[in-house]
Copies of this chain bind each other. A is one copy, B any other.
Amino acid sequence: MTTKAPKYEAIVAKKVAQRDSKFVKEWLIPKESLPDLTDVTGWIPKSGFLTEEELEITEANVLEISKNIQSKKWRALQVTKAFCHRASIANQLVNCLTEVFFDEAFKQAEELDKYQDETGSLKGPLHGLPISLKDNLNVKGQASSIGIVQFCFEPEQMEEDSLIVEVLRGLGAVFYVKTNIPAAMMMPESVNHIFGHTVNPLNRNLSAGGSSGGEAALLALKGSPLGVGTDIGGSIRMPSSFQNLYALRPSFGRFPNYGGRSGLPGLESVNSVNGPMTTDLESLEYYCKSVIGDEPWNRDAKAIELPWKSVTLPEKMNFAVLMDDGVVRPTPPIRRGLQITIDALRKAGHEVIEWDPAEHFRLSEIITSFFLSDGGAYIRDAFEATEEPFFPFMNAHKVAPEVKVKDLWKLQSERSALLKKYLERWNATAAQTSNGKPIDAIIMPATPFAGNPTGKFQDYIGYTSPFNVLDYSVGIFPVTRADKDLDPRDEASTGHSATDDKVWEDYNPEETHGGAVALQLIGRRLQEEKVVEMLKLFKKLIKYEH
């Protein structure tokens, strides 16, 4: 008796073959020449596969690239080709790309060069800058499969750019790749049945994280100078922290947001937002200023008219630190990262107090209920359409009961009360600080991990997801890397929870060695400028070198 292959397999084969055909053949490195390293972050520059010029371009930050394009030292096409080449190598190292459209990028870049030659001016502040995009951001003419087989060819070509893509295009950006994600973007590791799993370039035994995991891995390898991720539960922050990037999860309404492909379309109890990810903080700030300078509120009905403003930080600042949320204790390298940060802040004269995660667990439960409030119907239907099997991580979507709107209303009421409480607790820190002012930010882990092997993330995203419910503006900053000698295993688990036990059990200093230690910097809602300024301060104090 033979079993008929499930439908999805043929679709995957076709999709992957199509993607693979888009690479430039001469750029593909023969298998035997690929490295057998765990940490591949330093390999590309030394590999000899990029020209010196390609290296110079791809090691430059966004401002340097812009300046050199303006002076015509570099042309848009030349810059685009360099990043396409490097992205192609990155993909061979960590499997980070979904859509590959170099030809379209070359054409776009040529047109930009022509525009500059003819007008003597640039199309916008991002003229000729290659920007990589998370797979769920739509690019006209490309697919958005979002890790679900059914969507590989439905449609094969999106008819419109997502609004953020349209805005970036108008500012002169060039698009060339989209990056890998978990199926439906509903897992914290970037794995799906189409493109497989994206591994972490800092330590390829570890996952790149998710859901913007392909993006983060590509950026860590400088296959892109800046990428755009999205975040509805931690999807910018978790992978950015796993790859030691700088990143910003803005509050909803700050950046243009319309028209991405969602795994939960129509969900509004909590909103996905997009934001920049990069190894270079200056590039991140330049991106924010450029996008918001374009006045997205004139095009996006949900964007808020808030121009990017200049913010001066007080000389002496107050920070609260969350070392352990009482559900899952962070693993040793993350706790060391927190201590490094606290020490650096105190040394610089800032005050550090403790943060009580009182509402976090309930907020993380509420967001999960929001995600599942359609009874898992949308995602389940999409999987079933091609007989695609479910991932264990996504089992909740399989078994979720149908929810009635009246029950959703109750949850939303509860959430409103929790938001108020949280804000009141933030304000009340004024009574704890020596200058009588409330905290400026909370510093805390983005996950308990400095990366983890595939399948070992467990199911807890409670370090990031409360801030989606709260809609606070959050930055990610790198601190250090995991070190098997400095970060020995704890003698026992805390007994916080079953998940905590598993996290403790799974932690292996050898396996995690070299993994990224990056943290969250939590600002209040719509305080993106202040968050970026604080990231700049932290960079100066912590001095992490990429």
Contact = CB atoms under 8 A, between A and B. Distances in A.
A422 B304 contact: no
A258 B416 contact: yes
A317 B299 CA distance: 21
A437 interface: no
Contacts of A402: 404-406
Interface string A278-300: 00000000000000000001111
A165 B416 CA distance: 18
B377 A406 contact: yes
Interface string A371-414: 00111011000000000000000000000001111101111110
Nearest to A305: B526
Nearest to A374: B406
A427 interface: yes
A15 to B, nearest CB: 25
A404 B405 contact: yes
A423 B301 contact: yes
Nearest to A408: B405
B409 A374 contact: yes
A265 interface: yes
A423 B298 CA distance: 8
A411 B374 CA distance: 13
Nearest to A257: B416
Given A258-B416, A402-B404, A404-B375, A265 B409 contact: yes
Contacts of A411: 266
B305 A375 contact: no
Interface string A418-452: 01101100010000000000000000000000000
Contact of A266 (B267, B305, B413): B413
B403 A404 contact: yes
A413 B265 CA distance: 7
Please give the count of copies of this chain that the complex contains.
2
Contacts of A340: none
Contacts of A258: 416, 420
B406 A405 contact: no
A299 B425 CA distance: 11
A427 B301 CA distance: 11
A260 to B, nearest CB: 11
Nearest to A527: B305
A302 interface: yes
B301 A525 contact: yes
A298 B405 contact: no
Contacts of A419: 301-302
Nearest to A306: B306
A320 interface: no
Contact of A405 (B253, B373, B420): B373
A410 B265 CA distance: 8
A470 interface: yes
A426 to B, nearest CB: 9
B403 A378 contact: no
Contacts of A403: 404-405
A269 interface: yes
Interface string A253-275: 10000100000111111000000
B302 A409 contact: no
Contact of A422 (B301, B374, B525): B301
Most B CB contacts (10 A, CB to CB) among A268, A409, A423 go to: A409
Contacts of A378: 406, 409
Shortest 6 CB-CB contacts between residues of A and residues of B: A266-B409, A301-B419, A374-B406, A266-B413, A373-B405, A266-B412
Given A306-B306, A373-B405, A375-B404, 8 more contacts: A258-B420, A268-B268, A298-B427, A301-B423, A302-B416, A304-B306, A375-B405, A402-B404
7 contacts: A266-B410, A266-B411, A297-B525, A304-B306, A374-B405, A378-B409, A402-B404
